[in-house]
Amino acid sequence: KNEVEQSPQNLTAQEGEFITINCSYSVGISALHWLQQHPGGGIVSLFMLSSGKKKHGRLIATINIQEKHSSLHITASHPRDSAVYICAVRGGGADGLTFGKGTHLIIQP
């Protein structure tokens, strides 16, 4: 079973700061997902990565397959970025995702 660890668990930052959230996993994967859970509970998929880097607006996700590590970066952070960010991985043969516990991000104005 893949173990997915996220750090930090909680992060409070000021508006405008550059944010980094880390995810590491224990077993080789076919894909890694970053998701955002809003304060109201809804979950939205942000990225799916199998290699390299992806960018969407102010969000950047990178993955290093050899090191079994991924990072999610937020540039020019804004209070509306406040949410729980969740890393999840898909194993080679199984369906469904294995999730990290999430990083609770608060951006203060």
Partner 1 sequence: NAGVTQTPKFQVLKTGQSMTLQCAQDMNHNSMYWYRQDPGMGLRLIYYSASEGTTDKGEVPNGYNVSRLNKREFSLRLESAAPSQTSVYFCASKVLRGGADTQYFGPGTRLTVL
83/2 Cα distance (integer angstroms): 24
Determine, following the binding rule CB under 8 A, whether residue 48 of this chain makes contact with partner 1. Answer: yes
Q: How far is CA 70 from the centre of its chain?
A: 8
40/30 Cα distance (integer angstroms): 30
> Which C-beta is closer to partner 1: that of 95 or that of 109?
95
Q: Which of the stretches 11-19, 42-50, 62-70, 75-83 binds partner 1 when contact is defined by CB under 8 A?
A: 42-50
Q: How far is the CB of 70 from partner 1 (least distance, A)?
A: 15
Output the six-digit token pair for 93. 């043969």
Report 70-89 residues binding partner 1 (CB under 8 A): 86, 88
